């Protein structure tokens, strides 16, 4: 009888281990990378290898996000003015029209927020010296206010719009969920809107500190906001009431920005300076600059916070950085012009957060 019990115990242990192993592997999660010249790449975060590509049935994909339950992947499709809603279990795709030149995607309170740019002509931004000339043109098209399309996935359609400034770039939400914060690169403003109504409640002009605000991120405790200024080669720090506190220098052309999960460090990706810079998130003193590739705009931490993955569009790669040592530890080839990157389980990054 003892031997029978022993065998049952061993079998139970073996079954338990077999059930645990996939769970441990699954805990590492996956990274999803939009490619402007191809499908969405899926990276296994346990091995840091590309697993597969997902056909979102569109081209020019840029912003992306994963629903909170991990069931759906959302991508912004520039070339056709839609988002793709991908069932990650079946890979079935549904398209929803959102407006011209969709770019930035955020999911908040179960809704999808997508920045659209009716005034954007595409291509590279003008050089700093050309900004005044651009503004002086007798052309109302470039002054058309952008729209943040709000999509209800259950209804499968856009349900309302929030009117931003010309060429809206980034979208963030206050910690209490009552406000939407938008960066508008064409008129050099950061605008604050009521979450429920979309009504404009405050405008912060950035020209005094720098032009072309792009990235926007709230600190984990909700006390500060960071907006990167691409033509200012710096970022500004705003308090919880959106008053200017500091301006901090960065390498050339900062864009993607994110705090770490604890709110102890701030990371900024500077595409032309080819640096990922870590700052102390309280004093904003520079901790370290990491050499990176070309046109590295967006990045994400892994769900365990141990690594940072950086999408480098002109280097055709995803760079893997040790988040503690702040050193590059791997290069994952991606020759389809990677644009954005997020993970599931969700983690801190320039495009998303838990």
pLDDT at position 143 is 66
Distances in whole angstroms, Cα of residue 164 to Cα of each of 71, 171, 173, 186, 344: 30, 10, 14, 11, 29
pLDDT tens readout for residues 12-33: 444 444 444 333 345 689 999 9
At residue 145 the predicted structure's pLDDT band, cuts being 50, 70 and 90, is confident
Residue 284 CA to residue 278 CA, distance in Å, equals 9
What mean pLDDT comes out for the span 219-243?
98
Residue 271 CA to residue 253 CA, distance in Å, equals 6
β-pair partners for 349: 300
What mean pLDDT comes out for the span 326-334?
98
Q: Where are the domains of the chain?
A: 30-121+144-344
Q: What share of the chain in percent tops pLDDT 70? A: 85
pLDDT tens readout for residues 88-114: 999 999 999 999 999 999 999 999 999
Tokens of 66: 């994963």
pLDDT tens readout for residues 148-203: 999 999 999 999 999 998 899 999 999 999 999 999 999 999 999 999 999 999 99
Distances in whole angstroms, Cα of residue 20 to Cα of each of 43, 45, 53, 70: 22, 18, 27, 20
Altogether, the residues listed in the chain come to a count of 354
Q: Find the distance separating the first CA and the last CA of the chain, reported in whole Å.
A: 51
pLDDT at position 21 is 37
Average pLDDT for the chain: 89
Least confident of 135-139, 198-202, 220-224, 331-335: 135-139
- CATH number for the region 30-121+144-344 comes to 2.130.10.10
pLDDT at position 9 is 47
Residue 181 CA to residue 173 CA, distance in Å, equals 6
pLDDT of residue 269 exceeding 70, the answer is yes
CA 305 to chain centre: 16
């Amino acid at each position: 009888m003892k031997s029978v019990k022993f065998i049952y115990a061993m079998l139970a242990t073996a079954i338990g281990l077999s059930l645990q192993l996939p769970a441990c592997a699954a805990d590492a999660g996956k990274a999803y990378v939009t490619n402007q010249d191809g499908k969405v790449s899926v990276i296994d975060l346990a091995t840091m290898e590309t697993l597969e590509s997902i056909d979102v049935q569109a081209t020019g994909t840029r912003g992306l996000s994963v629903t909170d339950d991990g069931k759906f992947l959302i991508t912004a499709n520039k070339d056709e003015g839609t988002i793709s809603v991908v069932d990650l279990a079946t890979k079935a795709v549904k398209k929803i029209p959102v407006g011209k030149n969709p770019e930035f995607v955020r999911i908040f309170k179960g809704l999808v927020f997508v920045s659209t740019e009716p005034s954007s002509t595409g291509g590279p931004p003008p050089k700093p010296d050309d900004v005044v000339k651009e503004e002086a043109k007798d052309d109302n098209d470039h002054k058309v206010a952008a729209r943040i399309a709000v999509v209800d996935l259950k209804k499968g359609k856009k349900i309302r719009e929030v009117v931003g400034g010309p060429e809206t770039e980034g979208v963030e939400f206050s910690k209490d969920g009552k406000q939407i914060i938008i960066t508008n690169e064409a008129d050099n403003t950061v605008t604050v809107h009521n979450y429920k109504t979309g009504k404009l409640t405050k405008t912060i002009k950035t020209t005094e500190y720098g032009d072309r605000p792009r990235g926007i991120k709230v600190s984990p405790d909700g006390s500060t906001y960071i907006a990167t200024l691409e033509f200012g080669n710096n970022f500004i720090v705003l308090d919880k009431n959106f008053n200017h506190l500091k301006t901090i220098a960065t390498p050339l052309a900062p864009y993607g920005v994110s705090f770490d999960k604890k709110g102890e460090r701030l990371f900024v990706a500077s595409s032309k300076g080819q640096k990922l810079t870590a700052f102390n998130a309280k004093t904003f003193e520079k901790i370290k600059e990491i050499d990176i590739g070309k046109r590295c705009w967006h990045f994400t931490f892994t769900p365990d916070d141990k690594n940072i993955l950086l999408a480098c569009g002109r280097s055709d790669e995803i760079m893997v950085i040790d988040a503690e040592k702040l050193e590059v530890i791997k290069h994952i080839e991606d020759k389809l012009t990677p644009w954005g990157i997020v993970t599931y389980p969700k983690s801190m990054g320039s495009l998303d957060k838990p």
